[in-house]
Structure 1
Amino acid sequence: MSRHTLRILLVEDHPFQLIALQILLNNHGFYRVTPALTASEALAAMERSDIPYDLLLCDQRLPDMSGIELIEQASRQCLVREAVLLSGLEPSQLRDIETQAIRNGIPLLGCLIKPLNTLELFRLISSVPGDC
């Protein structure tokens, strides 16, 4: 999928990190980025959209629900096609979340530890299938 057409919903509860990540995505050619500070904001954005978002980039620790819960809910409602979970949790905890997500059929491309490795982030983003 082209960087210029990929629709990304970015959910991060720390405003500075949200802005920094949006700028990083924009600087790499991803311009269709919708920012949200909470799961509620993200769900509202997804529900307003005529088509599902291509990618949900989501922090695990949000004030109103966990990131994996948001991804699961959005997936069940067909509001998002793929997701990447971002977190400061220990790698073993993220592996457990990822294993459980795959077992439950949640469209999780992977989990990334903060601070983000940008090469790994863009590797996961590049795996979003075209023509969903």
Structure 2
Amino acid sequence: MDESATQAPPPRIRVLLLDDDHFMLELLTDMLADLDGADSARAFEVRTESDARRALASLALDPPGLLICDLSMPDMDGIEFMQAAAAAGFGGGVMLLSGMDSGVRKAAERLARAHGLNVLGAFKKPISAAELQAALAPLRGLEALGHENLYNLSPLSEK
């Protein structure tokens, strides 16, 4: 029997999109679906949230492999959210999005890294499809390396 016929498809990367702008959530969801269309199997399982406190609660209950987070939100901004996510032990990948200037985005990226988060980058809103695809390439490349757990995207240990 052919081994490739019995192999299960690689697990999908679970993504949590956090943004208070519903249009941006729809845009990002569509962009991820378009990236799925380039693959033979769906690569992403997308969940959206517009409330940072609800998103934080869901991190503990159902942690994604990737968090795409806006920095400017009411009630709890993206920096506060990143601090809380790090304190809760979130181990997935993080992409930060903001319409703010590059200095603010870079500072937020450094702060998130200092808290131990696996930051894939801080991008200007709206992110282009090419930027999104490039930022996700390392995560999607894990499948080719035989990485079995795409829900915990911490660096692979050396053996």
Q: Same fold (TM over 0.5)?
A: yes
* TM bracket, shorter-chain basis: 0.7 to 0.9
Cα distance 1:102–1:44, how it changes in 2: closer, same or farther (>3 A)?
Answer: closer
Q: Select 1:42's aligned residue among 40, 48, 55.
A: 55
Please state whether the residue corresponding to 1:126 is helix, strand or coil: helix
Q: How far did residue 105 of structure 1 move?
A: 2.2
Which letter maps to 1:55? L
- How far apart, in 1, do the equivalents of 2:59 and 2:22 lie? 20
Which letter maps to 2:57? A
TM-score (norm 1): 0.84
Per-residue CA distance 1:58-110 (angstroms, 9 max, x = gap): 00011121112212312321344110100001012211222232233232211
2:134 is aligned with 1:123:
yes
Please say if residues 60 and 88 of structure 2, whose CA atoms lie closer than 8 Å, have aligned partners that are also in contact: no
- How far apart, in 2, do the equivalents of 1:3 and 1:79 lie? 22
Percent identity between the two aligned chains: 29
Please state whether the residue corresponding to 2:92 is helix, strand or coil: strand
Which letter maps to 1:22? T
Q: Which residue of 1 aligns with 2:19?
A: 12
Which letter maps to 1:57? I
Q: Which residue of 2 aligns with 1:66?
A: 77
Q: Which has the larger radius of gyration?
A: 2
- How far apart, in 2, do the equivalents of 1:25 and 1:36 lie? 15
Q: Select 1:21's aligned residue among 28, 43, 55.
A: 28
Cα distance 1:103–1:65, how it changes in 2: closer, same or farther (>3 A)?
Answer: same
TM-score (norm 2): 0.71
How many residues were matched structurally? 129
Q: What are the ranges of 5 or more consecutive residues in structure 1 without an aligned counterpart?
A: none
What root-mean-square deviation, in Å, do the aligned CA atoms of Structure 1 and Structure 2 show? 2.1
Please say if residues 12 and 37 of structure 1, whose CA atoms lie closer than 8 Å, have aligned partners that are also in contact: yes
Deviates more, 1:64-73 or 1:121-130: 121-130
Task: Say which structure is richer in strand.
Answer: 1
